[in-house]
């Protein structure tokens, strides 16, 4: 949530929504509203499955230039009862 990506030294790198197009829609909306710093606007990724997000994160994440980043935390924002089902 916002507490993570607004924390010093933290950068929001990716968002996942199961509904096709919704992750990108959320990202674009927040860029338009000026909610992200430049580093997030340039590099944030959208995913439509937990599997694709996890594969990307396990590779260390990739920035827009093809370089490797570091993924230290994945925040699961689903109802607690659904966590095991999703993962």
| 3-state class (DSSP) for residue 16 | strand
Residue-level pLDDT at 59:
81
User: With left for phi above 0 and alpha for psi between -120 and 50, is residue 61 left, alpha or beta?
Assistant: left
Per residue in 18-53, pLDDT tens?
Answer: 899 999 999 999 999 998 888 888 888 999 998 898
Residue 84 has pLDDT above 60, yes or no: yes
Q: Is the model's pTM score more than 0.85? A: no
Q: What is the mean pLDDT of the chain?
A: 79
Q: Is the pLDDT of residue 83 over 70?
A: no
């Amino acid at each position: 949530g916002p507490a993570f990506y607004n924390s010093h030294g933290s950068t929001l790198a990716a968002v996942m929504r199961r509904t096709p197009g919704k992750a990108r829609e959320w990202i674009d909306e927040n860029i338009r509203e000026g909610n992200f710093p430049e580093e997030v606007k340039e590099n944030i990724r959208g995913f439509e499955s937990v599997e694709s997000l996890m594969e990307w994160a396990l590779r260390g994440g990739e920035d827009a230039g093809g370089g490797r980043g570091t993924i230290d935390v994945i925040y699961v924002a689903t109802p607690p009862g659904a966590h095991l089902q999703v993962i």
